[in-house]
A and B are shown apart, each in its own frame.
Chain A
């Protein structure tokens, strides 16, 4: 599944990094603790968080994540947005909270893998 598919299916807002919308998503990671994401997130995961500062992009880039979803209608800080654009790692937005957006993505990714079998 690609980022743009998730955007369309879940009505996510594209906040930055539109040049990266065709990245593939394999799995999701929900966390607001940076050291945890560094240790445990996997490449091509989509990261769900409420954190908006520049470190978020630095970590997304380091870990080769496919995109970041900011919950609660949070908006990225200006330098975070800039880095997202230059790296081509999209930052997406949702009004929803971590619980339900994670669950919806989990369901979509699971169903998708079932169909592919």
Chain B
């Protein structure tokens, strides 16, 4: 079987709320063109959008790389930013370090990371305070066939 990976790459700027979501929107369109199942696209795009908003709200800038394989789609977001001191705490619903300006924009309710988790088959978060955060969101396209099933 021919294996190929399609790779998409976007740069995003922190603090740019009016353009936030542009990368996610472009990626959504590309995924639609690749005939990926609509439900899967929705999962990926919601996780991606929440991650994009996190960068805009908290980081200086970031690079998004989306790798589309035959069996899975990986979204990798690596930012330069303050980092997350306590990842477990950050994952708690309702926990937020957002400024009041961000809350008034409709974000910062502390649901971003849990929305990302809810929409990923596998989620990896690595972070270093004063350096930045890297998130890997993996969603499988076809569940691997198990001989025992």
Contacts and interface: CB of A to CB of B under 8 A. Distances in A.
Consider the complex of A and B and state whether they touch directly, i.e. have CB atoms less than 8 Å apart.
yes
Interface of A: 32-35, 50-52, 74, 77
B103 interface: yes
Contacts of B94: 52, 74, 77
A92 B109 CA distance: 19
Contacts of A51: 109
A33 B106 contact: yes
Interface of B: 94, 100, 103-104, 106, 109
A74 B93 CA distance: 10
A50 B106 contact: no
Q: Which 8 A-B pairs have the closest CB atoms?
A: A35-B104, A52-B94, A33-B104, A50-B109, A34-B103, A51-B109, A34-B104, A32-B109
Chain A CB within 10 A, most for which of B94, B100, B104: B94
A34 B103 CA distance: 8
A50 B111 CA distance: 11
Contacts of B106: 32-33
A52 B93 CA distance: 11
B109 A34 contact: no
A5 to B, nearest CB: 30
A33 B106 CA distance: 7
Contacts of A74: 94
A74 B92 CA distance: 13
A48 B6 CA distance: 46
Contacts of A52: 94
A112 to B, nearest CB: 32
